[in-house]
Amino acid sequence: MTGYLKTTMLMAAMTALFMGVGYAIGGGAGLLIALAVAAGMNAFAYWNSDKAVLRMHNAQECNSQVHPDLQRLVHKLADDAGMPQPRVYVIDQDQPNAFATGRNPENAAVAATTGLLRRMSREEIAAVMAHELAHIRNYDTLIITVTATFAGAISMLANFALFFRGGRNQGAGGAIAMIAVMILAPLAAAVVQMAISRSREYEADRVGAEICGNPLWLASALEKIQGFASRIDYDRAEQNPQTAHMFIINPLHVHKRDKLFSTHPNTENRIAALVRLAQENGITQAAPQPRAGNPWG
């Protein structure tokens, strides 16, 4: 199953689940209310999610005085990929990591931590930023925003379930069904949301490797970032766990194996896929190590 087909099916499942929760709570009227809530929340997220997440992580926009090398690198990668140049931000955080945000390629931003710039070679940084550009080109930033909004709306509707239905004489069976909706609907929404996030990471790895020109650069970066992320705390990410799925590697100290509720695929599996891609293309040159005192190699 291709990544796009899987994502489409999961998005359809999320939409059906959302509409089902609305119908279970209030019948036809509940379905209409659910659609209205979803429309309002998605409209707000569409226009404001990028600003909100950059503000959450205290990101500073790059310019001629603030990390101009990173800005030039990202803009060159975007030009080579035939994409609009995104805004580039840096986050003062020791854990190496990065994410992309924005509703479309014309209104997008990428952000990298200072830890990434210090600890990676120029080739590895290019590969990481190419991965984030791939998310933008594939409209993953919009897909993930919509699914996160749906998941939040489902949780909100589930919490209101007893308020909408509690006054009706439903009997024991109806009460049990409503409790099941309250518990299982948000759980199912979280599973679908995370499955969508994981499926998009593999595709972004593939396209990112194409943009930067060497899958082994990204494989090397992922291995290093995973190692650092497992032992360096990222306080702002811990305070805002709803943004964890946006990062190239989960900043919240993920476990080694794939989990049902993991926002990211197993890093070893991602690296293995990139190594296979490099072999298929006859590429054997890995990323060089960063020079001491010069993170740009």
Task: Say what the alpha-carbon torsion angle 89, 190, 39, 168 is, to the nearest 10 degrees.
Answer: -150
- On the CB side of 126, CA atoms within 13 Å amount to 26
CA 191/CA 185 separation, integer angstroms:
10
132 carries an active-site annotation: yes
What's the Rg (C-alpha) of the chain? 21
- Inter-residue contact 133 to 102 (CB < 8 Å): no
3-state SS class at 208: helix
- Annotated catalytic residue, options 124, 132, 201, 203: 132
CA 276/CA 283 separation, integer angstroms:
10
Show the tokens assigned to 138. 């594939």
Beta bridge partners of 104: 107
Going along 54-201, which residue ranges are E strands?
A: 60-61, 87-91, 98-104, 107-113
Task: Say if residue 253 is exposed, middle or buried (CB neighbours under 10 Å; 0-12, 13-18, 19+).
Answer: middle
| Residue 232 main-chain phi, psi, to 5 deg | -110, 120
Taking residue 260's Cβ as centre, other Cβ atoms within 10 Å add up to 9
Catalytically active residues are 132
